[in-house]
Amino acid sequence: MATQVPETEAQLKPMTDAAKRKRILSGIQPSGDLTLGNYLGAIRNWVIQQDECESFHPIVNLHAMSGSFDPEALRRRTLELAAGLLACGIDPEKAVLFVQSQIPEHTELTWILCTQTMYGELGRMIQFKEKRGTASDAKTSAALFFYPVLQGADILIYDADLVPVGEDQRQHIELTRDIGNRFNTTFGETFKLPEADIKTDGARIMGLDDPAKKMSKSAASPANYIALTDEPDVIRKKINRAVTDSGSEIVARQDKPALTNLLTIFSLMTDTPVADLEARYEGAGYGQFKRDLGDAVADHLAPIQARLKELTSERAQLESILHRGTERAREVTVPKMERVREVTGLSL
């Protein structure tokens, strides 16, 4: 019997780390203070996943231009967000942290993907409809409309396997898959189709002032959210004033959206199952519960805030981290764009 020989050299070699690891991509806009919603729905998961995945995290400053914006504020917030992500635990030795606009391939691909995107699809996007509100066509920017195509380009250009996001982004990831699939069918297999990676806990943290609306950094009132930079006494005050449900039971249930939200936050901040918290606070009043929750949030955020203070004064180091991130991102995007130009007839 002939001995089996490996057919190719590749079969002899152990898979490289990068080949085994899933690639994740997820971006965040520099459009306001980071909130507890961003942290629990997205950033906390990125920090966990950077150990086992090949992670790319763009600060999506081009997306932040889709509403009205102030150039100086945009510049400042981009750097502040980089510092915020590092303070939360994004490690530039593991994850690729970069600024979207530094990678021209994102915008070039956006235009090409527009050819595979239908007007009707963009009009159906919930985020578009919400952000547009009651504004007329004449007052609605085309950037707001095309926003999901740019997001699709951010994702597809890296051949990301997973996109770890909060629940609000599910529809954009589905659209990204549809666009990628259409492109592959038309021009041949080019892009990997990504999966949305939405966790069961924390994917939709609700506003403290209104548990029917998500916690958002662009909320009208700061009572809606806890900013990662809020001082401990501000955190305690906001939690103390958070709306509750009728009745006095401290349980997570469908008819108790406010308590469910507060218990979810408590659980994630202290790594304690919700059921344990329900048992601990059985018969207790909202006052005690809210005091303890305020302390738990303040304690969890304290080391993040301390790191943030240090990083804010180290602008040169921040710039160098982002510069290195640009280089690493372009190692992926430049060859990918060459391929896209090839299959679409742009390269001569």
Which residues sit at the interface with ligand TRP, rule CB under 6 A?
A: 25-27, 29, 60, 63, 151, 154-155, 163, 165, 169, 172
Q: Compute the distance between CA of residue 341 and CA of residue 24 in angstroms, rounded to an integer.
A: 24
Residue 219 touches ligand AMP, criterion: CB under 6 A: no
Q: Compute the distance between CA of residue 215 and CA of residue 26 in angstroms, rounded to an integer.
A: 19
Q: How far is the CB of 188 from ligand AMP (least distance, A)?
A: 31
Annotated catalytic residue within 22, 94, 199, 217: 217
Residue 210 touches ligand AMP, criterion: CB under 6 A: no
Query: Is 131 labeled as catalytic in the residue annotation?
Result: yes
Beta bridge partners of 54: 23
Q: Which of ligand TRP, ligand AMP, none lies near 214, with the C-beta cut-off 5 to 8 A by kind?
A: ligand AMP
| CB closer to ligand AMP out of 166 and 180 | 166
Residue 28 touches ligand AMP, criterion: CB under 6 A: yes
Q: Which of ligand TRP, ligand AMP, none lies near 154, with the C-beta cut-off 5 to 8 A by kind?
A: ligand TRP
SS3 content of the chain, % helix, strand, coil (to 5): 55, 5, 35
Residue 42 touches ligand AMP, criterion: CB under 6 A: yes
Residue 214 touches ligand AMP, criterion: CB under 6 A: yes
Residue 65 touches ligand AMP, criterion: CB under 6 A: no
Q: Compute the distance between CA of residue 334 and CA of residue 109 in angstroms, rounded to an integer.
A: 11
Q: Compute the distance between CA of residue 284 and CA of residue 279 in angstroms, rounded to an integer.
A: 10
Token pair, residue 73, equals 């504020």
Helix axes 71-88, 286-312, angle to 10 degrees: 110
Q: Are 268 and 36 in contact (CB under 8 A)?
A: no
Write out the binding residues for ligand AMP, residues 130-189 only, by CB under 6 A.
Answer: 165-166, 168-169
Q: Compute the distance between CA of residue 160 and CA of residue 72 in angstroms, rounded to an integer.
A: 32
- The size of the chain, in residues, is 348
Which residues contact ligand AMP (rule: CB under 6 A)? Answer: 26, 28-29, 37-38, 41-42, 165-166, 168-169, 203-205, 214-217
Please identify every residue annotated as catalytic.
131, 214, 217
